Amino acid sequence: MNLRDKYIMEKFNIDENVLNYCNKVEEEIKDKFEKIDQITEYNQLKVLAAMQKNRLSDTHFASTTGYGYNDLGRDTLEQVYADVFNTEDALVRPQIISGTHALTVALAGNLRPGDEILSPVGVPYDTLQGVIGIREEKGSLKEYGISYRQVDLLPDGSFDFEGIKNALNDKTKLVTIQRSKGYEYRESFSVEKIGTLIKFIKDLRPDVICMVDNCYGEFVDYKEPSDVGADLIVGSLIKNPGGGLAPIGGYIAGKKEYVENAAVRLTSPGLGKEVGATLGVIPSFFQGLFNAPQVVGGSVKGAVFLSKLFEGLGFGVLPTPDEKRADIVQCVQMGSAENVIAFCCGIQKGAPVDSFVAPEPWDMPGYDCPVIMAAGAFVQGSSIELSADAPIKPPYNVFFQGGLSWHHAKIGIMIGLQTMVDRKLIKL
């Protein structure tokens, strides 16, 4: 037995059967890791080129306070994001607290009373439902006279193009496309599929704004939705593009007019992008973006490893190990609350922060059932760090994502599996 395996068994209480099974699975997927590395390298070069093009210097790392006028670092960061995502403009701010907040700002900035939102991919993620007004919440867009319509996916998970055509009407101002699966048991949409959907919509209504919720998808592929026609892409910096270093923040990138509309809503009319102090976070935003392709690559490797591991044990997995990845999220059909809780407890044990606590399901704001979340993260709620979460309801799907390195994702998954074995929920 090599020194690494001996250390894993002694320090993390992994038994020999679990270790041997995991080593076998890792060997079987090495060819897939090579393809992930190629995408990682491409995206690393893309970020590097954008920073060089904008002549990034240590002068851009200075902090601003108060109004934040003439913040050179902030303005340069936003141009770097625009170049990385191949867009006209970008809004990248620590004042945006989450992906849901970024989406709210983009929607509220670009919609007016009487407008209608269309989701052609079924119901959006739980927290956005309250923003739109699908679920009654104070301050929702519905309260401001903005209506909502959706077209569900077909039974095979594909787009209902005829239904979308019929749903588009004179009130439709914005189409929102969620790239990742959220808590739905469906495939996350590849950039190619998103491009096909956007082209279909634009051929019918070229004036409609096509916005993509890009959370969990950045740097997973060679292209981004903005490369295939999206007018706006929106995401969180405590997911992929923050690289695990951004302590807060979100981005909105796309056509200049729509980004400026969002900026006006984030700050105030007449001010827009001209204000917003960065309070010392700019260096971590730049360095996080620079690290992001490597971090995302490691997360994707962890997702493929988990998929192969549990597929071999007879669990339903989405995506399968052989499918092309559209985001960093891996879903496993656990089949019972006990399995979900055991796996999440194992992921928590594998964390660098709060490894000694046990997560429990609780009624989180914005969700319709108890949710369990395992995340011992350096940044609270950072799901680019090793994390797993699940709604405690049938069919008991658990959603795994993150890991600031492949090796951390790997040991976390191994401890998750070992916890299930220890509780006699799985027998190898």
- The tens digit of pLDDT for each residue in 289-317 reads 999 999 999 999 999 999 999 999 999 99
Domain extent at residue 311: 3-43+293-422
Q: What is the pLDDT of residue 367?
A: 73
Q: CA angle, 383 as apex, 424 and 66 as ends, to 5°? A: 150
Alpha carbon 348 to chain centroid, angstroms: 20
**What is d(CA 384, CA 245) in angstroms, rounded to the nearest whole number?**
10
Rg (the chain; Cα; Å): 21
pLDDT tens, per residue, the chain with 428 residues: 899 999 999 999 999 999 999 999 999 999 999 999 999 999 999 999 999 999 999 999 999 999 999 999 999 999 999 999 999 999 999 999 999 999 999 999 999 999 999 999 999 988 899 999 999 999 999 999 999 999 999 999 999 999 999 999 999 999 999 999 888 888 999 999 999 999 999 999 999 999 999 999 999 999 999 999 999 999 999 999 999 999 999 999 999 999 999 999 999 999 999 999 999 999 999 999 999 999 999 999 999 999 999 999 999 999 999 999 999 999 999 999 999 999 999 999 999 999 999 999 988 776 778 999 999 999 999 999 999 999 999 999 999 999 999 999 999 999 999 999 999 999 98
The number of distinct structural domains making up the chain is 2
* Residue at 51 is within a domain: no
Final residue of a domain: which of 256, 289, 322? 289
Q: What are the pLDDT digits (tens) for 228-283?
A: 999 999 999 999 999 999 999 999 999 999 999 999 999 999 999 999 999 999 99
Q: Could you give the dihedral angle defined by the CA atoms of residues 385, 390, 396 and 400, in that order, rounded to the nearest 10 degrees?
A: -10
Residue 129 lies in a domain: yes
- Whether 48 maps to a domain, the answer reads no
Among 221, 255, 289, give the residue marking a domain's end: 289
Is residue 407 a contact partner of residue 33, using CB atoms and an 8 Å limit?
no
Neighbours of 17 (CB within 10 A): 12
Examine the domain organization and report whether 242 and 304 are in the same domain: no
Whether 123 and 132 have beta carbons less than 8 Å apart is answered as no
Domain containing residue 367: CATH number: 3.90.1150.60
Q: In one letter, which amino acid is 195? A: G
